[in-house]
Structure 1
Amino acid sequence: MKKTLLIVFIHGFKGGDDTFGDKEGFTAQLRADLAALLPKINVNVLVYPKYETRGDLGDCVSRFRDWLLEKVIDLEVANNTPSPTVDPSVRVVLAGHSMGGIVAAETVIGLTSEKPIYSEDGVEKAADSSTATFNSLMFPYIQGVIAFDTPYLGISPGVVAHGAEGHYNTANAAMTQLSGLGTALWGAKQATSSPSRNRAPVAALPAPPANSSQQGGGWGWGKIAMVAGSAAAVAASAGAAYYNREHITQGLTWATSHLEFVGCLAKGAELQKRVQYMVKLNRELDVGFANLYTRLGKAAGSKEVSVVGTVLGRDRTFCNLPKRDNGGTWKQAVNDVATEETQAHMNMFEPKMNPGYDRLKEDAATLIAQWTRNEWYESSEEDKLAIKEAGESATA
């Protein structure tokens, strides 16, 4: 029986089946590279179908686990494995992009827990990870978790800081124009006669003056018409908001549900605990754990930005990085054409948008191959040799 390594890709927040490229893209190329590196076993690839990234994290993990169990059982049945739960012929590497990496980590933690309890933060964990005990007879058997730009320790403050700085001038100009639009539409007299202490903040539309003020002045209907289109857009937005308030309420419910899914990124203690669990799993059960994180390269600005008195470093990443070497394997994936962290994050698997695509694929294949070259892998040849010897003795 030739054993099988199954690579399962999990997309992140609002991702889909095309997150990792088309059928001939990253997933197929990585499979081919791994097949060359691991010739003793079969290498299969599955992409988790597009799922609703809403509700709490525990629900998402539970649904994924059920789906994975079904797929692995199908493979074990096809392989006629005598005791799949004790000596499986199939092992799995979970490959998650962004939030998909958190779903992957939580899945492993749940599979190795005696009685997993799923909550809004995933699998409930001991307050002290050092006291956690793991079940080595997990099924499906997870050989490793390889994450692609997963914010295991939260999203870097630089993602907001650099973006805010870049868009500030544009936003400020737009607000100033909007303020001027209000003054032009309602009459210049009010703007000049209002005391400075009562001046409305930038972008606040002043209330319309009395009818006599509107009728006087040098503004004619032609000039009013010139700005009416822009002002009407503002008024129309307000009107639409009122008349579609039921749809907006539904939208808020939709947004809140999605925020439940990504809300775990704001819980620092849970983030730290999840990483500590994965590090312990790596140490005690030899479950691989790595995060290939994006870093901006040559195209990004080199200036430093400060946030609340803290000067951010020049290395611009989407993810917060561990401060010490106790967070598993973290390896940078540099993108020399992306100018923003989110661009690098979303274009990891697009060769035209990521010059480091081939290096990313190579690093992923190398890590997975290292995790897989073990006693389970080597034993895959034993059955083939036995069959060959039996055939030779039969013809002798």
Structure 2
Amino acid sequence: MEGAVLLVFVHGFKGDAKKTFGTFPERLAHILHQTHPQWHIDAVVYPTYATRGAMDRTVTELVAWINSEVDARESSFGRQCMVVLCGHSMGGMIALDAALALQSTPHAVRGVLAFDTPYLGVHPHVFKHRISATYDTALKWGAVLAPLTGGIAARFAARNEEDASRRAAWIGAGTALAAGTAIAAGALFTRNDVLSDAYTWATDHLAFVGNLWDVDTLHARLDESYRRAVPYHCFHTRLAADARTFILPPPPDSAHVPHFTALDAAHARDEIEAHTGMFRESNGAYYSMGLGTYSAY
């Protein structure tokens, strides 16, 4: 049966439409065309958008853009166009929200492919390791986020009472954040621009990134996708040396476990490098990721 497929790639926080995915969209389109030559397959990257303010506004804009793109293609091809959304990092959250919004419309999304998307949050070890790495990172994250640490840790622990190691990880992250706050406070005595810089950074981005701290909403998104049978799959990085991950995977007894696949990131020194380098061909899992993405549906 002939058809048209629109693959839409959505970048994540502070991502870039021209840089985030590299040649991966073309690779996935090529794999699909090799196996389904009768289909017209078009891979596009959603234009760069501002990762600030309320995330639901970005979702609304993406939904409108998808409707416009599909209408244009169906008018041109004279046949139905299927949509698959592919999101990196927080782009996967936006993609799944858009899929839920479009489910009961003529342009319902056939599936969501996510790449290192923190559907259940970023693993606390990422903050612990990264915050201690550089002064600037400690300064900004510590100054802005340390007041939130206690609340985040308490809510996380409440949902994971059986997992002492995860609670301990949050305590470690909180210690690093507190240290960053102390550095920032000391710097304020000699640099008046530090507080202004931290405040600007926070007001520009915290509303968007703040979605990662809303544990209940994170769980509700996946629960809703499961209830409404919106297909999604998340490929996430895992450090080969010690199995550390950028995202927080679902617990072993979760119904969402089959929707997550770990890919060893042998190329990376830490979780951030693994996360940002997913679509580089130097990533040893790059080619298997393409094949795995295809077979996910």
TM-score by length of 2: 0.76
Distance 1:47 1:259, change over 3 A: same
Deviations 1:272-293 (A, max 9, x none): 01011112233xxxx4210001
Counterpart selection for 1:74 from 72, 75, 82: 72
Deviation at 1:38, TM superposition (A): 2.1
Q: Which residue of 2 aligns with 1:97?
A: 88
State whether structure 2 residue 240 is matched by structure 1 residue 290: no
Distance 1:203 1:291, change over 3 A: closer
Matched letter for residue 329 of structure 1: H
Q: Which residue of 2 aligns with 1:140?
A: 107
Q: Which residue of 2 aligns with 1:269?
A: 216
Q: Which residue of 2 aligns with 1:30?
A: 28
Q: Which residue of 1 aligns with 2:278?
A: 348
Q: Which residue of 2 aligns with 1:6?
A: 6
Unaligned runs of at least 5 residues, structure 1: 82-88, 113-134, 172-201, 207-233, 303-314, 372-396
Aligned ranges 1:228-377 → 2 under 5 Å: 238=191, 241=193, 248=196, 252-253=199-200, 255-282=202-229, 287-298=230-241, 302=242, 315-323=243-251, 324-327=253-256, 328-352=258-282, 354-367=283-296, 371=297
Deviations 1:180-206 (A, max 9, x none): xxxxxxxxxxxxxxxxxxxxxx989x9
**Distance of 1:140 and 1:275 partners within structure 2:** 21
**Distance of 1:57 and 1:48 partners within structure 2:** 15
Counterpart selection for 1:149 from 93, 111, 116: 116
Contact map agreement 1:17 1:48 (CA 8 A) in 2 = yes
Deviation at 1:3, TM superposition (A): 1.2
**Distance of 1:259 and 1:296 partners within structure 2:** 28
SS in 2 for 1:13: coil
User: Percent of pairs identical after alignment?
Assistant: 32
**Distance of 2:110 and 2:203 partners within structure 1:** 35
Two-structure CA RMSD over aligned residues (Å): 2.9
Distance 1:203 1:19, change over 3 A: closer
Deviation at 1:343, TM superposition (A): 0.6
Deviation at 1:50, TM superposition (A): 0.5
Deviation at 1:166, TM superposition (A): 5.9
Deviation at 1:331, TM superposition (A): 0.4
Contact map agreement 1:11 1:19 (CA 8 A) in 2 = no
SS in 1 for 2:269: coil
Contact map agreement 1:296 1:344 (CA 8 A) in 2 = yes
Q: Which residue of 2 aligns with 1:116?
A: none
Deviation at 1:71, TM superposition (A): 0.5
Q: Which residue of 2 aligns with 1:15?
A: 15
Distance 1:203 1:365, change over 3 A: closer
Matched letter for residue 274 of structure 1: R
TM-score by length of 1: 0.58
SS in 2 for 1:238: coil
